[in-house]
Chain A
């Protein structure tokens, strides 16, 4: 059971937008602006897509955006492309003893 809750799967057609949610508590997502999102193509190294809720690292497409409301963070991908098909994980700093918690991951399928 992951500390942060994500939908197991989402799907969308090329060109559409999708949003993946990540729900935690006031001890993690809701309490700090330290939410990150990672893209993982199986067999490859995970890639940081968003950090500190809404910041994109250099080189990440502006089709990826992040936001937060209360205890729920969201990753939105606009203009879906075939290469966006991957697993996406959220993570957050937590005031709990584990320091960092992750979501269970969301499999994005581009139809």
Chain B
């Protein structure tokens, strides 16, 4: 079955760039939207943005100036880059697949990866 696995550094220094990868196994990233979602400690879920497998993107306006999401069909991976991080970016980061070619609901999620921003 299709599985998603987030990976990347668990600790990032303030002002640096957070980089995460979502590796999709058991299926192709083609023909789907891929979304990054985060959950700060003790808080709810926040939508970061999505990439369609072909490369089109849409981002949360509150993060738009700092975020880049990309898809690599050859590696079957989706990536997230968030620049100029602060402590407010500390969160569990999830990647998720849009159900049935849509981007507003998510039928598969990864387990998430905790990223802490601290010096």
> Which residues of chain A have a CB within 8 Å of any CB of chain B?
2, 34, 36, 38, 43-48, 51-52, 57, 89, 91-93, 97-105
| Complex contact A98–B47 (CB within 8 A) | yes
Is residue B32 contacting chain A, with contact meaning CB distance below 8 A? no
Closest to B96 in A: A46
> Which residues of chain B have a CB within 8 Å of any CB of chain A?
4, 35, 37, 43-47, 50, 58, 60-62, 94, 96, 99, 103-112
Please, which residues of chain A bring their CB within 8 A of the CB of B60?
98
Q: Shortest beta-carbon distance, B29 to chain A, in Å?
A: 17
Q: Shortest beta-carbon distance, B67 to chain A, in Å?
A: 13
Closest to A50 in B: B105
| Complex contact A36–B105 (CB within 8 A) | yes
Please, which residues of chain A bring their CB within 8 A of the CB of B106?
36, 38, 46, 48
Q: Shortest beta-carbon distance, A53 to chain B, in Å?
A: 11
Q: Known: A48-B105, A52-B105. Contact between A105 and B111, CB under 8 A?
A: no
| Complex contact A105–B44 (CB within 8 A) | yes
| Complex contact B45–A105 (CB within 8 A) | yes
The complex places the Cα of A91 from the Cα of B50 at a distance, in Å, of: 15
The complex places the Cα of A58 from the Cα of B47 at a distance, in Å, of: 25
The list of the 4 closest CB pairs from A to B, nearest first, reads A104-B44, A93-B104, A36-B105, A102-B45
